[in-house]
Amino acid sequence: MTRVQLADTKLMVHPLQLGGNPFGWGADREQSFAVLDAYAEAGGNFIDTADVYSVWVPGNSGGESETIIGEWMKARGNRDDMVIATKVGMHPKHHGLDPANIRDCVDASLRRLGTDHIDLYYAHIDDEEVDQMAVAETFDALVRSGKVRYLGASNFGLDRLRSALKLCAQYSLACYRVVQDKYNLVSRGAVDGQKQTFLRAEGIAELPYHSLASGFLTGKHTGGDASDSVRGDRVADLLENQDALGALEVLHDVASAHGASMTATAIAWQLGHDFIPSTIASARVPEQLTELLAGTELVLTEDEITALNDCWAEA
C-alpha cells in the first residue's frame, strides 16, 4: 500500500487525495458513500474538504461535504484510518481569518466531521485585513489544544506565505507545512518557478487542486461538448484555447505511449514533481476512481516529463 510523508509531518498519506467538493451536490449521500468506500478499499486514506462545500447550491448552507464524510466515518468506524483535511475562510457567512471566526469555524467543522481533531487545517484564503500575528497565534493555539494536528495555507501568494513562516519561526509558533494551489498542466501561474524554489527550500508540500482542469485533461470533451461536465463552462473556455488544445495533444501522445488514460497521465505528471507528494482529485461515482488511482502508479520518462513541462506557457 502506497504511503508518502507530507513534508516533515507525521502524516503518511496516499498519493491521491480524494476531493470532497462534490459530496452533497454533485454526489448525494448514497453516491458519496459509494465513492468513499471504493477509495478506502483501494487503500486511500486522505480526504480533502472545506466548511464552504457546497454553499453555492440552492438549499445548501455549507458544511454538507464535512457532514457526509463524518457520517461515513462513523458508519464505517474508520476515523483513525483516515487523514482529514478541511478549511476555514471562504464561507460567505464566516468569511476571513478573524481569530474569533477561526475558533467558531473549527468547532463547527469538528461537529460536522464527528471527530475531536482535524489532521490538516487550512487557511482557505489569505486575509490581509487581519494581522498575521493574530492569525498565527490563533492557529498555533488550535494545534496546542489538540483540535488540529497540522496547518496548511491555500491560495496564498508567495510574499505572504514567506512572511507568515518568518513570523512563526521568530515566535516558535506552529505554522504552515502544506500549501494548496490551483496547479495543473494548463494552469501553472499559482506555482511558478520562484514559488517552487521556495517550497523546496522550506520543505513545504504542495497539494494541488483542479488537477484535471475541471475535466478538460481527461480528453473526454475534445469534440467540443462539455455539457456533461458539472464544470462545463470552464471546460468550454479551454476548448476554445489553441494552446490548451496543443497541450492536450502532447498529453494524449504521452498517455498513448504507456497505454494509459489521459487522466492517469495528468496525475502522474503532477506527482513527478518533487514538491508534490499527493494531489487532489474528486469523483462523483466509484468508476471515476480507477483512472485517478492508476495515475499514482504510472511512472513517466524524463523525456516525457520534459515534453509535458514544455507544452504550456502560462499567459
Q: pLDDT digit string (tens) for 187-236?
A: 999 999 999 999 999 999 999 999 999 999 999 877 655 444 445 667 88
Bridge partners of 206, per DSSP, are 179
Q: Residue 230 has what pLDDT?
A: 47
Amino acid at position 49, single letter = T
- Sort 243 into a burial class: Cβ within 10 Å, 0-12 / 13-18 / 19+: middle
Amino acid at position 193, single letter = G
Residue 146: domain span: 4-310
Q: Is the dihedral of CA 35, 70, 105, 6 positive or negative?
A: negative
- The C-alpha cell of 72 is what? 461515513
Nearest to 96 by CA among 126, 116, 72: 126
Lowest mean pLDDT among 102-116, 140-154, 214-228: 214-228
What whole-number distance in Å separates Cα of residue 285 and Cα of residue 94?
30
Bridge partners of 13, per DSSP, are 4
Confirm whether 19 is domain-assigned.
Answer: yes
C-alpha count within 13 angstroms, C-beta hemisphere, residue 253 = 13
Residue 175 neighbours by CB under 8 Å, 6+ apart = 136, 139, 140, 151, 164, 165, 167, 168, 169
C-alpha count within 13 angstroms, C-beta hemisphere, residue 145 = 14
Bridge partners of 95, per DSSP, are 90
- The C-alpha cell of 177 is what? 507545512
Q: Is 74 a residue whose pLDDT tops 50?
A: yes
Confirm whether 182 is domain-assigned.
Answer: yes
Instruction: Please identify every residue annotated as catalytic.
Output: 53
Confirm whether 145 is domain-assigned.
Answer: yes
Percent of the chain whose pLDDT exceeds 70: 96
What whole-number distance in Å separates Cα of residue 119 and Cα of residue 43?
18
Full 3-state SS string of 91-105? ECCEECCCHHHHHHH
Confirm whether 315 is domain-assigned.
Answer: no
For residue 187, what is the DSSP state?
B
Confidence of residue 1 (pLDDT cuts 50, 70, 90): low
Write out pLDDT tens, residues 278-296. 999 999 999 999 999 999 9
- Domain count for the chain: 1
Give the mean model confidence (pLDDT) for residues 2-26.
Answer: 97
What whole-number distance in Å separates Cα of residue 19 and Cα of residue 311?
27
Residue 284: which CATH number? Answer: 3.20.20.100
- The C-alpha cell of 286 is what? 466509484
What global pTM score does this model have? Answer: 0.95
Contact by Cβ (8 Å): 267, 281: yes
Q: Is 111 a residue whose pLDDT tops 60?
A: yes
